[in-house]
Amino acid sequence: PFAVELGMSYGNPSMASAIAKLKAQHCDRILVFPLYPQYAASSTASALDAVWRVLLKTRNVPAIRTINHYHKHPAYIAALEASVREHWRVNGGKPSKLIMSFHGVPKFHLMNGDPYHCECHVTARLLAEALQLNKDEYQVAFQSRFGKQEWLKPYLVSTLEALGKAKTKRIDVICPGFSSDCLETLEEIAMEGKHIFQSNGGGEYHYIPALNENDAWIHAMTSIALENLQGWVSADWDSVSAKKDNELTKLRAQSLGAKE
């Protein structure tokens, strides 16, 4: 019964087109669901800023509710666990070490109060617990650093170099901060990461794909969305009834002198 539209901050379909489509379906309450599990000013907040920029130009602004994060939601953790276990089933069991790599940000974000670093570690701990890993069987790292300033540590590149030099037999790398794969995960992590690890003496290297269209993840997204809609939008809502209500409201307004 709910209308769902996709909007991108820096691509198409745009946020503006997504909101326009929802308004065309007479949605007067919109839940914004940024697909960033861990909150960061540079990702989640940036996506929300894109929504606000559209609404600043809107005369009749719909009610807005946002999902700030879902880094420890049981359904999200369960989807990650299922993905890792399936990878292990197909690839001969556990690796020597599981690397949970998150997109890096400059350290000053943390010092300024951004919860991202903490939420990454919470996700990693909960996933490790679900997989029944001890502290020696997994490690957190941060990728994609550039520039000269200090970023969140440990850096993934340094971690891969060290594990390679230690002649680690096999590592698996997962990026829990990405809901779907992109150039960063498919090239930087899956390809460049493998080269760094193996050129330093490491053995097998496996990248565990993002959740993408995984059924468990689709169910998790549904659960998270419904929880945030509960008590706010009726499950009986439909665009046809909403359109009729809006048309009646419009007619009443016109009878009182409003212009079309």
> Given this model, what pLDDT does residue 144 score?
94
pTM value > 0.85: yes
Locus of tokens 């929880």: 227
Distances (CA, A) of 137 to 81, 88, 148: 15, 14, 31
What number of other Cβ atoms are within 10 A of residue 129's Cβ?
11
> Given this model, what pLDDT does residue 250 score?
66
The residue ranges of every structural domain in the chain are 15-69+230-255, 74-208
Q: Given 3.40.47.10, 1.10.8.60, 3.40.50.1400, 2.90.10.10, which CATH number is that of 74-208?
A: 3.40.50.1400
pLDDT string in tens for the chain (260-residue length): 689 999 999 999 999 999 999 999 999 999 999 999 999 999 999 999 999 999 999 988 999 999 999 999 999 999 999 999 999 999 999 999 999 999 999 999 999 999 999 999 999 999 999 999 999 999 999 999 998 899 999 999 999 999 999 999 999 999 999 999 999 999 999 999 999 999 999 999 999 999 999 999 999 999 999 999 999 987 676 667 766 776 776 677 667 777 76
